[in-house]
Structure 1
């Protein structure tokens, strides 16, 4: 099993067997459907469990809260999306492409994108764990796109740019597509 595949099977709380991974997959898919219908405010673990055909108690063995469930959905999307960092010799092009790709991961799903912002700001320890993993993955992608021995200040500035821009999008100040454009312009200011 490849490293990304093993990361997909690793839940926030524990390693999963194939059957357990299938249950978590059903729950995350059902959550996206319930979110589209009910919005984040109306989403409950009970509703998701019913939609997935799973007992509520079983759902809670995997997800401590709706914030944890939504953060898991974003984490899974992130690690399953291929890094678009091309073989382009220009690290600026590679970084901008990478940040745009991450910014647009949930852009076409309005309820999910707003829910991701709300969820990732939560204080649930399982969400904090996922937030750290998501931040580490984004940092890893930025560092990879920049190339050997990137300036740590530039890396941190790009991480802050990305996080701040997505919070703005999640708050409704702009669409995720508009935010992706803004990230590109701001990244160019940092990198040039």
Structure 2
């Protein structure tokens, strides 16, 4: 699947370079924390020049936010047919919570990156928010209370921040999201 960069349209060769940089960022974050990560380091790991990397990514925050956006947008959506509202919402929250479960370095980096003020990060943060909003809205179904949707979005954002700060695993986060969503939606 080809992705359009947040900064410009890409040729197939450019899209391949961006994918290499994203993959390299994940690999580097397995060995280096976010504070030590640099775009130069990622470029070297990807086998491209730093100037090329900066052509596509304005900062390390932008690069990491792009990695998260790609993971989110590529993640499969469960078939929610036949499930009640609570089960649909829980499935959506669990899916997005577990996107980073296997990559603790990346998960911590995503939390830091998404809090950045880089305009390219702001753009990606908006795209991520719209995607999560849409998934939760679909899970809630017709006639939902907009306040419930906003509460679920706040729940997820707070949980992502909490996990990124190292307060528990993403698996535990998914369980806590399930419990909290069930409470919000009126269940035991």
TM-score of the superposed pair, with normalisation by structure 1: 0.94
Superposition deviation, residue 85 in structure 1: 4.5
1:134-153 matches, cutoff 5 A: 134-153=128-147
Counterpart pick for 1:109 among 100, 103, 107: 103
Tell me the residue number matched to 1:87.
Answer: 81
Say which is worse superposed, 142-151 or 55-64, in terms of deviation.
142-151
TM-score of the superposed pair, with normalisation by structure 2: 0.96
RMSD of aligned alpha carbons = 1.0
- Structure 2 residues not aligned, in runs of 5+: none
Tell me the residue number matched to 1:175.
Answer: 169
SS of alignment partner, residue 46 of structure 1? helix
Superposition deviation, residue 150 in structure 1: 2.0
Cα deviation per residue 1:74-120 (whole Å; 9 max; x = unaligned)? 00000000112421230110110010010010111110010011110
Tell me the residue number matched to 1:41.
Answer: 35
Superposition deviation, residue 149 in structure 1: 3.1
Tell me the residue number matched to 1:62.
Answer: 56
Q: Aligned partners of 1:149 and 1:25: how far apart in 2?
A: 40
Matched, 1:122 2:97: no
Q: Aligned partners of 2:114 and 2:82: how far apart in 1?
A: 32
- Structure 1 residues not aligned, in runs of 5+: none
Superposition deviation, residue 29 in structure 1: 0.4
Say which is worse superposed, 133-142 or 76-85, in terms of deviation.
76-85
Off by >4 Å, runs of 4+ in structure 1: none
Cα deviation per residue 1:132-159 (whole Å; 9 max; x = unaligned)? 1001000000011111232111110000
